[in-house]
Amino acid sequence: MKQLNGPPTVFYEPNFISEEEEKRLVESIYAAPKPKWQQLSRRRLQNWGGLPHPKGMIAESIPDWLMKYVSLLNNLHLFGDKKANHVLVNEYLPGQGIMPHTDGPLFHPVITTISLGSHTVLNFYDRLDSDEVDAEDSQLSSVKQRQKKLSVLLEPRSLLVVKDDLYHKHLHSIDELKSDEISELIVNPGDRQLGEVMHRQTRISLTIRHVPRTSKVPIFLSRKS
Protein backbone atom coordinates (compact mmCIF):
# COMPACT_ATOMS: atom_id res chain seq x y z
CA MET A 1 0.00 0.00 0.00
CA LYS A 2 1.51 3.32 -1.06
CA GLN A 3 1.67 6.35 1.21
CA LEU A 4 0.82 9.46 -0.79
CA ASN A 5 2.52 12.83 -0.57
CA GLY A 6 0.80 15.20 1.84
CA PRO A 7 0.07 15.49 5.55
CA PRO A 8 0.37 12.21 7.43
CA THR A 9 -1.22 9.85 6.92
CA VAL A 10 -2.96 8.77 3.70
CA PHE A 11 -2.45 5.44 1.94
CA TYR A 12 -3.85 4.39 -1.43
CA GLU A 13 -4.01 0.98 -3.07
CA PRO A 14 -5.39 0.72 -6.64
CA ASN A 15 -7.11 -2.52 -7.67
CA PHE A 16 -7.50 -3.62 -4.05
CA ILE A 17 -10.35 -5.89 -5.17
CA SER A 18 -11.01 -7.60 -8.50
CA GLU A 19 -13.63 -6.68 -11.11
CA GLU A 20 -15.56 -9.84 -10.20
CA GLU A 21 -15.56 -8.89 -6.50
CA GLU A 22 -16.70 -5.39 -7.43
CA LYS A 23 -19.57 -6.80 -9.48
CA ARG A 24 -20.72 -9.11 -6.66
CA LEU A 25 -20.58 -6.31 -4.11
CA VAL A 26 -22.65 -3.96 -6.28
CA GLU A 27 -25.22 -6.69 -6.89
CA SER A 28 -25.48 -7.41 -3.15
CA ILE A 29 -25.86 -3.73 -2.28
CA TYR A 30 -28.72 -3.25 -4.73
CA ALA A 31 -30.34 -6.50 -3.59
CA ALA A 32 -30.63 -5.14 -0.03
CA PRO A 33 -34.19 -4.49 1.22
CA LYS A 34 -35.50 -1.04 0.29
CA PRO A 35 -35.90 0.03 3.96
CA LYS A 36 -32.13 -0.39 4.31
CA TRP A 37 -31.64 2.72 2.16
CA GLN A 38 -31.68 6.14 3.82
CA GLN A 39 -32.30 9.06 1.46
CA LEU A 40 -30.35 12.26 2.11
CA SER A 41 -30.48 15.51 0.17
CA ARG A 42 -27.30 14.79 -1.80
CA ARG A 43 -27.16 10.99 -1.91
CA ARG A 44 -28.54 7.82 -0.33
CA LEU A 45 -26.83 5.38 1.99
CA GLN A 46 -26.98 2.13 3.95
CA ASN A 47 -25.67 1.44 7.47
CA TRP A 48 -24.44 -2.06 8.30
CA GLY A 49 -23.36 -3.12 11.78
CA GLY A 50 -25.67 -0.64 13.51
CA LEU A 51 -26.48 3.07 13.50
CA PRO A 52 -23.68 5.17 15.06
CA HIS A 53 -24.88 7.54 17.78
CA PRO A 54 -23.07 9.68 20.39
CA LYS A 55 -24.63 7.53 23.15
CA GLY A 56 -23.44 4.35 21.49
CA MET A 57 -24.28 2.00 18.62
CA ILE A 58 -26.55 -0.99 19.07
CA ALA A 59 -24.37 -3.64 17.43
CA GLU A 60 -25.95 -5.61 14.60
CA SER A 61 -24.55 -8.44 12.53
CA ILE A 62 -22.86 -7.60 9.24
CA PRO A 63 -23.82 -9.86 6.30
CA ASP A 64 -21.22 -12.31 5.01
CA TRP A 65 -20.85 -10.53 1.67
CA LEU A 66 -19.59 -7.43 3.54
CA MET A 67 -17.94 -9.18 6.46
CA LYS A 68 -15.44 -10.71 4.05
CA TYR A 69 -13.94 -7.24 3.45
CA VAL A 70 -14.27 -6.11 7.07
CA SER A 71 -12.22 -9.17 8.06
CA LEU A 72 -9.73 -8.51 5.28
CA LEU A 73 -9.04 -4.99 6.58
CA ASN A 74 -8.93 -6.21 10.17
CA ASN A 75 -6.30 -8.76 9.17
CA LEU A 76 -4.20 -5.92 7.78
CA HIS A 77 -4.27 -4.31 11.27
CA LEU A 78 -5.31 -0.97 9.81
CA PHE A 79 -7.18 -0.11 13.02
CA GLY A 80 -4.34 -0.96 15.37
CA ASP A 81 -5.62 -3.17 18.16
CA LYS A 82 -9.25 -2.39 17.22
CA LYS A 83 -11.54 -4.30 14.87
CA ALA A 84 -13.80 -2.67 12.27
CA ASN A 85 -17.47 -3.16 13.18
CA HIS A 86 -19.39 -0.79 10.89
CA VAL A 87 -19.81 -0.28 7.14
CA LEU A 88 -21.33 2.85 5.63
CA VAL A 89 -22.45 2.36 2.02
CA ASN A 90 -22.85 5.61 0.06
CA GLU A 91 -24.27 5.85 -3.46
CA TYR A 92 -23.16 8.88 -5.48
CA LEU A 93 -24.81 9.65 -8.81
CA PRO A 94 -22.95 11.94 -11.25
CA GLY A 95 -23.24 15.47 -9.87
CA GLN A 96 -23.66 14.36 -6.26
CA GLY A 97 -21.11 14.89 -3.49
CA ILE A 98 -20.68 15.72 0.18
CA MET A 99 -19.80 19.00 1.90
CA PRO A 100 -16.59 19.42 3.95
CA HIS A 101 -16.91 17.50 7.21
CA THR A 102 -15.07 15.42 9.77
CA ASP A 103 -16.08 11.95 10.89
CA GLY A 104 -15.49 13.08 14.45
CA PRO A 105 -15.35 11.21 17.76
CA LEU A 106 -18.03 8.63 16.94
CA PHE A 107 -15.31 6.56 15.25
CA HIS A 108 -11.80 5.32 15.90
CA PRO A 109 -9.65 7.86 13.95
CA VAL A 110 -9.02 5.69 10.89
CA ILE A 111 -11.10 5.82 7.70
CA THR A 112 -10.90 3.00 5.15
CA THR A 113 -12.86 3.32 1.91
CA ILE A 114 -13.32 0.91 -0.98
CA SER A 115 -14.70 2.53 -4.17
CA LEU A 116 -16.98 0.71 -6.61
CA GLY A 117 -18.32 1.52 -10.07
CA SER A 118 -16.73 4.88 -10.81
CA HIS A 119 -13.96 7.25 -9.82
CA THR A 120 -14.29 10.41 -7.78
CA VAL A 121 -11.95 13.02 -6.33
CA LEU A 122 -11.75 13.41 -2.56
CA ASN A 123 -10.62 16.84 -1.38
CA PHE A 124 -8.98 17.69 1.95
CA TYR A 125 -9.18 21.15 3.55
CA ASP A 126 -7.48 22.81 6.49
CA ARG A 127 -9.78 23.19 9.46
CA LEU A 128 -10.82 26.70 10.46
CA ASP A 129 -10.49 27.92 14.04
CA SER A 130 -14.29 28.12 14.19
CA ASP A 131 -14.71 24.41 13.34
CA GLU A 132 -15.78 22.05 16.04
CA VAL A 133 -15.45 18.26 16.02
CA ASP A 134 -18.45 17.17 14.01
CA ALA A 135 -20.40 13.96 13.63
CA GLU A 136 -20.60 12.04 10.34
CA ASP A 137 -21.85 14.18 7.44
CA SER A 138 -21.98 17.47 9.36
CA GLN A 139 -21.94 20.27 6.80
CA LEU A 140 -19.68 23.13 7.76
CA SER A 141 -19.08 26.63 6.37
CA SER A 142 -18.64 27.39 2.69
CA VAL A 143 -15.83 25.79 0.71
CA LYS A 144 -14.91 29.29 -0.48
CA GLN A 145 -13.64 30.10 3.03
CA ARG A 146 -11.30 27.12 3.08
CA GLN A 147 -7.82 26.35 1.79
CA LYS A 148 -7.73 23.09 -0.14
CA LYS A 149 -4.74 21.07 1.02
CA LEU A 150 -4.71 18.18 -1.42
CA SER A 151 -6.93 15.90 -3.50
CA VAL A 152 -6.90 12.14 -3.99
CA LEU A 153 -8.20 10.37 -7.09
CA LEU A 154 -10.29 7.41 -5.94
CA GLU A 155 -10.50 4.85 -8.73
CA PRO A 156 -12.94 1.93 -8.91
CA ARG A 157 -11.83 -1.08 -6.81
CA SER A 158 -9.28 1.02 -4.89
CA LEU A 159 -8.70 1.27 -1.14
CA LEU A 160 -8.06 4.55 0.68
CA VAL A 161 -6.81 4.74 4.28
CA VAL A 162 -6.85 8.07 6.16
CA LYS A 163 -5.55 8.49 9.72
CA ASP A 164 -3.48 10.66 12.08
CA ASP A 165 -3.37 14.41 11.31
CA LEU A 166 -5.29 14.04 8.08
CA TYR A 167 -8.19 12.63 10.11
CA HIS A 168 -7.99 15.03 13.06
CA LYS A 169 -6.86 18.32 11.51
CA HIS A 170 -8.50 18.32 8.08
CA LEU A 171 -11.97 18.15 6.57
CA HIS A 172 -12.81 16.04 3.53
CA SER A 173 -15.40 16.49 0.79
CA ILE A 174 -16.49 15.51 -2.71
CA ASP A 175 -17.47 18.32 -5.09
CA GLU A 176 -20.90 18.12 -6.73
CA LEU A 177 -19.61 17.65 -10.27
CA LYS A 178 -20.31 15.36 -13.22
CA SER A 179 -16.66 15.30 -14.28
CA ASP A 180 -13.25 15.90 -12.73
CA GLU A 181 -10.12 17.52 -14.16
CA ILE A 182 -6.68 16.24 -13.22
CA SER A 183 -5.07 19.12 -11.33
CA GLU A 184 -1.76 19.71 -9.59
CA LEU A 185 -3.46 19.14 -6.23
CA ILE A 186 -4.20 15.48 -7.05
CA VAL A 187 -1.39 13.57 -5.38
CA ASN A 188 -1.93 10.27 -7.26
CA PRO A 189 -2.68 11.08 -10.93
CA GLY A 190 -0.93 7.92 -12.14
CA ASP A 191 -0.54 7.97 -15.92
CA ARG A 192 -3.18 10.66 -16.39
CA GLN A 193 -2.12 13.98 -17.84
CA LEU A 194 -2.59 17.38 -16.23
CA GLY A 195 -5.88 18.83 -17.49
CA GLU A 196 -7.35 15.45 -18.48
CA VAL A 197 -11.10 15.30 -17.85
CA MET A 198 -12.72 12.20 -16.34
CA HIS A 199 -16.50 11.77 -16.47
CA ARG A 200 -18.20 10.31 -13.42
CA GLN A 201 -20.61 7.40 -13.41
CA THR A 202 -22.54 6.03 -10.43
CA ARG A 203 -20.11 5.38 -7.60
CA ILE A 204 -20.62 3.34 -4.44
CA SER A 205 -18.28 3.72 -1.50
CA LEU A 206 -17.80 1.25 1.35
CA THR A 207 -16.47 3.15 4.36
CA ILE A 208 -15.35 0.59 6.92
CA ARG A 209 -14.62 1.86 10.43
CA HIS A 210 -14.48 0.98 14.12
CA VAL A 211 -17.20 2.38 16.38
CA PRO A 212 -15.81 2.33 19.94
CA ARG A 213 -19.07 2.73 21.85
CA THR A 214 -21.36 -0.21 21.18
CA SER A 215 -24.07 -2.13 23.00
CA LYS A 216 -25.97 -5.36 22.41
CA VAL A 217 -29.08 -3.99 24.15
CA PRO A 218 -31.31 -1.02 23.20
CA ILE A 219 -29.94 2.40 24.18
CA PHE A 220 -32.31 4.99 25.63
CA LEU A 221 -31.82 7.94 23.27
CA SER A 222 -34.59 10.42 24.06
CA ARG A 223 -37.45 11.17 26.44
CA LYS A 224 -40.80 12.78 25.74
CA SER A 225 -42.21 14.93 28.54
CA distance 133 to 122: 20
Question: What Cα–Cα distance (Å) separates residue 35 from each residue in 24, 50, 53, 148, 157?
Answer: 21, 14, 19, 37, 26
Task: List CB contacts of 171: < 8 A, sequence separation 6 or more.
Answer: 100, 101, 102, 124, 125, 126, 127, 131, 140, 146
Position 36 pLDDT exceeds 50: yes
**Residue 218, in any domain of the structure:** no
Residue 137 has a pLDDT of 41
**Residue 214, in any domain of the structure:** no
Q: What is the pLDDT of residues 62-76, one digit of tens each?
A: 999 999 999 999 999
**Residue 221, in any domain of the structure:** no
CATH number of domain containing 37: 2.60.120.590
**Residue 224, in any domain of the structure:** no
Residue with the bigger pLDDT between 45 and 221: it is 45
Residue 207 has a pLDDT of 98
> 68 forms bridges with which residues in the sheet?
none
**Residue 217, in any domain of the structure:** no
Residue with the bigger pLDDT between 167 and 70: it is 70
Counting the structural domains of the chain, the total is 1
pLDDT confidence tier of residue 5, bands split at 50, 70 and 90: low
Q: What is the pLDDT of residues 97-151, one digit of tens each?
A: 999 988 888 999 999 999 999 999 999 998 875 554 443 444 444 555 677 889 9
For residue 47, give its domain range: 2-130+138-209
**Residue 96, in any domain of the structure:** yes
Quick check: pTM over 0.95? Answer: no
Q: At what angle do helices 64-75 and 19-30 cross, to 10 degrees?
A: 130
